[in-house]
A = this chain, B = another copy of it.
Amino acid sequence: MVIDCHGHYTTIPKRFEEYRRLQVAACTCGQPAPVLPAMASDDELRESVEGAQLQRQRDRGTDLTIFSPRALGMGHHLGDAKASQEWTVLCNDLIHRLCQLYPQNFAGVCQLPQSPGVAPANCIPELERCVRELGFIGCNLNPDPSGGWWTDPPLHDKWWYPLYEKLVELDVPAMIHVSGSCNPHFHATGAHYINGDTTAFMQFLTSGLFKDFPTLKFIIPHGGGAVPYHWGRYRGIAQDMGLPPLKELLLDNVFFDTCVYHQLGMELLLKVIPARNILFASETIGAVRGVDPETGHYFDDTKRYVDAADFLSAADRELILSGNARRVYGRLAA
């Protein structure tokens, strides 16, 4: 079995995107919010994923996608806290309906109703609803709800602790995933995403967060940002700071996905990071949509790169393709 731990609902029907546009515009202009759209019909939902995510699953031989709302669409920096709450509920309900329609293909991960300047404890009710009532198995946590200005406290700050306590209680991991950027310095998928990953890793490295939460689990997507490429740098920085080896310091709590879109990058990840810390993922359909002219295959067909890494043992391959996902997403088996 192959579990892809990182898929987003990037093919949401247009009318929901239009609602969001009007909702954000209403916040900005002080006009009344638009009417909440009716839930998508089964046909509408099927149409949105059949030729897209589900087709790719079949084409690539992946079985289950751990599926969450579109990351760029979260837009925690847009509108206000109330708009974020309403939009989040709507997005999570759509994921839930898809998981009901395709229980063999999708397992739900929720968006959180974050908003810059608002304490993350506000996310607890929606997290509980998604996990306890809708059967979701994880959440996406945005380390920068300001959208590129990084104005809220870092991830090791007590600001986040109530949410972490709930994650531990519910036994669900969080994928660290920024949303869009309204800072002109940061291209969203090319800079802000990767920087967010690298930044989160260093926040974990320099803090005692996992002393306080020994069972808290984070997935750092996009192959861990820059981290595996600079693994020597991070090992050296930790050593210079008098910290224990990274394996001891972090690797019971921090995991990397395989969203790296070329063979040599994937092989670096697989060689540098212990197999038990790597979860297969493709972020399909996501940041890179095209076919690589050098290979004739989709850039984001990451399974091909893993398949071609012939140095992996059968046991390690099994961990990466599904075993680790089952362990890290403790509610997946249920």
Contacts and interface: CB of A to CB of B under 8 A. Distances in A.
A288 interface: yes
Contact of A230 (B186, B202, B231, B260): B260
A34 interface: no
Given A187-B202, A191-B202, A232 B290 contact: no
A199 interface: yes
A296 interface: no
Identical copies of this chain, number = 2
Contacts of A226: 194, 198, 225-226, 229
A261 interface: yes
A225 B287 CA distance: 19
A235 B299 CA distance: 9
A143 B191 CA distance: 14
A296 to B, nearest CB: 13
Contacts of A230: 194, 222-223, 260-261, 265
Q: Contact residue range for chain A? A: 35 or more
A261 B289 contact: no
A265 B260 CA distance: 14
Contact of A288 (B187, B236, B262): B236
Interface stretch (A6-14, A144-152, A163-171): A144-152
A237 B288 contact: yes
Given A183-B150, A264-B271, A229 B236 contact: no
Contact of A260 (B153, B229, B235): B229
A5 to B, nearest CB: 18
Contacts of A225: 226
Given A190-B202, A206-B187, A233-B287, A150 B148 contact: yes
B223 A229 contact: yes
